[in-house]
Chain A
Amino acid sequence: MNRKPKILIVDDDVDLVQVMKGTLESKLFEVIVAHNGKEGLQKAKGEKPDIVILDIMMPVMDGWAFAEQYNKDPLLAKTPVLALTSFSESLGQPFPFQVSEYLQKPLKPKDLIAKVEEHLKKLGM
């Protein structure tokens, strides 16, 4: 595939977004940013990203509410979601996405890239 992999970051923490954006852009990925679940859902539908990086604890619409809407869209439902959580947030909760993985915060840039590339590879990119 020739086009640049498109990655959507949904996170309300602007500093964290800044770092993740910088990290991913250094790999020449196209990065789109949304600051809450609602905005994230709109952009996910409009931009059709290859991978979504999602913060679970967010204002306006949190990760769980996001998942509910997200799974209704058959195309999105197949798009992998990397869920950012701290340890205590993720305990005992089965994650509600078809293709997903927990990424535990704090996340080192190189680990983020490794995970994203791993999923892109699975997608054949």
Chain B
Amino acid sequence: MFDNVRVPEIKDEAAPVHAKSVTAGEVSASQYTPEERALILRVGVYVRMRWLVILGIVAAALIASLVFDISFSILPVSIICGAMVLYNLIMFRWTNSLKAEPTGIVLKKAERAANVQVLTDLVIFTILLHYTGGIENPFIFFYLAHTIAAGIVLPQTRAYQLATIAVSMITLLVFLEYAGVVSHVNLEGFVRPDRYENLGRVLAVLVALATLIYGSTYVTTAVLGELRRRQRDMVALKDKLLEKRAKELEQISAEVVKLEDERRSFARFLGVVAHDLQSPLVATQSVMSYILEGYTGEITYGQKDLLERAVRRIDGLLTLITDLLDIPRIETGQVSREMREISFNEVIKKSLEGLDNVAQQKGLTLKLELPQSSPLVYGASRRLQQVMTNLVSNAINYTNEGTVSVKVIDNENDARVEISDTGIGIKPEDMPRMFNDFFRGSNVTSKGTGLGLSISKRIVEAHGGKIWAESPDPETHKGSRFTFTIPKKGAAASKEK
């Protein structure tokens, strides 16, 4: 019951003190355990409190003698106060010197400082009490302050030892005075002089005081013991958590290595699959071309037509296989491994080689507009050519008359390519799905694999760029326009996917 009430109180008290002493400029406080830090703080609080107590005694003595006209000799009280000031100065230095002690040793030293202080305080207080009326003085209950403080600072058994010492001291003092061994100082005008001679009263006060002393010791040690236990638990928990995190990190890095291994073997696997799927088709293709070109003798028109059909189908299949195997390659970060510093204009020019012929055969004009100095980009040259080939051949495929124009714009942060055509355009309902796998426009008779645009998107995005389509072209109001951007070298770093 007490635990629940007292814990927050003690915490609240400790908090501002803690803040103060940190600003006071401790050098090594950070290396102490929380328990050590708390103990040093409490010993410091002792010293500060003692200044108040000295002031309190002086004030109480003055008020008692001047205001209430209680008679007791001021001299011993003054001497005791002077002694306390001296002793507290020593304690002040001792406490400060604790902060220079290394962790581990400091706990013992601080405990000793606390012991010495509590014990000395008890002795001084008992002497003070003797000169200010002994059992007559209601401040006799201030013994409690000591035992509470001891309960806070010291371990349980020590606190009980001190409580016992305190009780013994009062009892000794009171009985010495009662027996007349030590002369009793009567607070004249405050308490009747026969009071200390009344055994029943004396015993009642002593029992009440002893009960309070032990009771407060019990409460403080219970609460503080619990607090210390929690502190230790927290430290243990923190260590455990740290250990767990370290283990997790280890595990994760092992997993990363494993994933990288898996990625590599997957890439190898894809390589073998690609080769083994393509090889027979390539051989078949070559054999058919060989026949088609007449190396095995003249062939009829019908044979030629059929062979050409077969060649086209195998061409389509080869492209599909290449595209299908390309997707996992790109998705496992292949593109960033191919990246070099490249001249963008060169890439664009190279990608159009051969395509101008295709355009010409269709009666189309292929226009190219390049910036005077080529933008420098960090990119995968063949992959960007793949994107270009894809977009430009699409434009040529879906344009029956007019122009296909390629325009490269050198922006501050990126190189931007616009491929415009005057072709059939894209239906609005197709727009959102344009870059999906296996997408084919609803207004076109399907030719391709439906993977070209989705692969282009993956490649552009692996460079950290963007790709989009507009139809009709916002400038010519005809056909469609595809735009993609590639970050320039030094601009936004291209991230691996």
Q: Which chain A residues have a beta carbon within 8 Å of chain B's beta carbons?
A: 13, 15-16, 18-20, 22-23, 26, 57, 86-92, 105-110
**Centre residue among A87, A91, A108, A109 by max chain B CB count within 10 A:** A91
Q: Which of A15, A89, A92 is within 8 Å of B338, CB to CB? A: A92
Bound state CA distance, A90 and B281, in angstroms?
Answer: 18
Name 25 interchain pairs, CB-CB below 8 A, sorted by A.
A13-B279, A13-B282, A15-B284, A19-B283, A20-B286, A22-B290, A26-B295, A57-B271, A86-B275, A86-B278, A86-B318, A86-B322, A88-B322, A89-B274, A91-B334, A91-B338, A92-B334, A92-B338, A106-B281, A106-B289, A106-B314, A108-B286, A108-B289, A109-B286, A109-B290
Cβ-defined contact, B275 with A91, below 8 A: no
Q: How far is the CB of B60 from chain A (nearest CB, A)?
A: 91
Write the chain B residue with the least CB distance to A107: B286
- How many A-B contacts if CB must be within 8 Å? 74
Size of the B side of the interface (Cβ < 8 Å), in residues, is: 30
Contacts of B318 in A (CB 8 A): 86, 106
Interface residues of chain B, those whose CB is within 8 Å of chain A, are 271, 274-275, 278-279, 281-287, 289-290, 293, 295, 314-315, 318, 322, 325-326, 329, 334, 337-338, 380-383
CA distance A86 to B277 in the complex (A): 11
Closest to A91 in B: B382
Contacts of B275 in A (CB 8 A): 57, 86, 89
Given A19-B290, A86-B275, A91 contacting B383 (CB threshold 8 A): yes
Chain B residue nearest to A113 (CB atoms) is B293
> B281: which A residues are within 8 A, CB to CB?
106
Q: Which of B282, B284, B286, B382 has the most CB of A within 10 A?
A: B286
Contact residues in B for A23 (Cβ distance below 8 Å): 290, 295
Is B287's CB under 8 angstroms from A15's CB? Answer: yes
Q: Which residue of B lies closest to A26 (CB)?
A: B295
Of all chain B residues, the one with the shortest Cβ separation from A12 is B279
B349 CB → nearest A CB, Å? 17
10 closest residue pairs by CB, A with B:
A92-B338, A106-B285, A15-B283, A105-B282, A106-B282, A19-B286, A19-B290, A108-B289, A57-B275, A109-B293
| Residues of A close to B326: CB separation below 8 A | 88
Q: Which residue of A lies closest to B337 (CB)?
A: A92
Question: In the complex, which residue of chain A has the Cβ closest to the Cβ of B283?
Answer: A15
Shortest Cβ distance from residue B144 to the other chain A in the assembled complex, whole angstroms: 84
**Would you call A109 and B282 a contact (CB within 8 A)?**
no
A88 to B318, CA, bound (A): 11
Minimum CB distance partner of A94 in chain B: B340
A94: shortest Cβ distance to chain B, in Å? 9
